Structures are given as C-alpha cells and as structure tokens.
Amino acid sequence: MRIVNPSFGLREEAGNLTGPAVCAVADWSRDPIAIVSNSKPNARELLEGVRAQMGAFRPTDNIDYLFKDSAAQPAPAELIDEIARKYKGAILALAD
C-alpha cells in the first residue's frame, strides 16, 4: 500500500543567504546585555532578579531591560535590530 505523506512540505528558498552567519561571542562578565521580557506575567520580576544576582560577578549598569508589547505576538523587527546593534548577548524569559 502506497500513501501520500501528510507531513510533506517544501522548504522556502533562502535566497539572500550567502554563507553562515558570524556570531560574536559575548563576554558575560562585562559586555552590555539585554534582558528581554516576553511580557508574560511576572517576567519582569524574574528578569530583574536575574540581573540582581548577576551583580555578584559583573557590573549591572549595562544590563538593560527590554520587552515586547504582547506575549502573543512576535518581537517587532525594530526591537530585534536594537538588540543586535546595542548588545553582545540577551537573556530571554522563555516560559510562563
């Protein structure tokens, strides 16, 4: 018996990619980093707690809190661009 694969799909062409992305490695002991809230309840409290604990081994005045407007929507491109431009690393609140 031969069946049509119900999970089949096509990969979209990545037309503009010219090679592997080059990632700078962050120095978590001193580089500017972003703590980014997914805007779920208490995400800010969680991330502020992480920042406070990081104060034990690094300066915290270059750890900035950022957030997207809605937990249900993707982060806007401008926010992603800002994070990429200004910071060497980011910590995301991934769960509820």
Partner 1 sequence: MIEDMDSETIEVGDLDPAQWNEYANDRGWSDGFPLAVPTQEAVDRFLQTCRKDNAPFAPMSPRLLVPTMPAIAANAVMAGCRAEYFPVVVAAVRAVLDPAYNLHGTLATTHPCAQLLIVSGPLRGQLDINCTGNCFGQGRRANATIGRALQLTLLNIGGARPGEMDRATQGSPAKYAFCFGENEEESPWEPYHVRRGFDAGDSVVTAFASEPPHNINDHASTSGEGILQTIAGTISQTGANVLGGHGPYVVVIGPEHAHTIHRDGWTIPDIQEKLFEDSAVHISRVPPEKRKNYAVDRSAKVVNDKFYLTCSPEGIHILVAGGPGKHSAYIPTFGSTEACSVRISNV
Residue 63 near partner 1 by CB under 8 A: no
Residue 60 near partner 1 by CB under 8 A: no
Between residue 70 and residue 89, which ones bind partner 1 under the rule CB under 8 A? 70-74
At 70 the three-state DSSP class reads coil
The span from the first CA to the last CA of the chain, in angstroms, equals 45
Which H or E element spans position 78? helix 77-86
Taking the C-alpha atoms of residue 47 and residue 64, their distance in angstroms, rounded to an integer, is: 10
Instruction: Tell the smallest beta-carbon distance from residue 34 to partner 1 (Å).
Output: 16
Between residue 4 and residue 23, which ones bind partner 1 under the rule CB under 8 A? 4-12
Binding site for partner 1 (CB under 8 A): 1-12, 37, 39-44, 67, 69-74, 96
